Structure 1
Amino acid sequence: MFADKNGRKPGIVISILSVIVFNTLFGLSTTYWMAIVTRGLLGLLCGILGPIKAYASEVCRKEHQALGISLVTSSRAIALVIGPAIGGFLAQQDHVLHAFGFR
């Protein structure tokens, strides 16, 4: 509804900024309730998938619309796997130091 009323670009920008801010706050949360509140706000303000799919269907030609929408969905699924894997790798500092030749 926000993207329909105010345009897709402001909706996408607000969603991206909310992901950056609230994921960072979630990672830095010090209490259980701070973690719950930041995840809740992240869920409320992250409405990026709808406008991105609509934008992909408008940008692509008629014969490539299915490919454009599937790329949006596939890239989101890949990011949900790769992002935590990178975070887990970086959380283990001994492995990171060894991988870059510091140990």
Structure 2
Amino acid sequence: MALVAVLYTYNDLPEVRAQHLSAHRDFLASQDNLVLSGPTSDGSGLLLFEGEVAAVEAAVNDDPFRAVGLIKDRRVFEWTPVLGSWMKDLKL
């Protein structure tokens, strides 16, 4: 199965973000194919899924952050890791 990365660029709306963070995290936790997710040091968000690009893209359309206008830009793309210490742990 392919790995699919999702890169969110957020709008700068800290009060809205704080209000909807729990719903966003609950939504992500409900995704059975989510491998890892979290914020980046530049204020973006990086999510890694197992699956196909089209299916992941369709799934993240339902992210509560999107519904309230927190996602300014979103990139969804297949990612092929080739080296690294997590390769074995992630069974890649």
Relative to the length of structure 1, the TM-score reads 0.24
Higher strand share: 2
* Larger RCO (CA under 8 A, 6+ residues apart): 2
Relative to the length of structure 2, the TM-score reads 0.26
Higher helix share: 1
> Which has the greater radius of gyration?
1
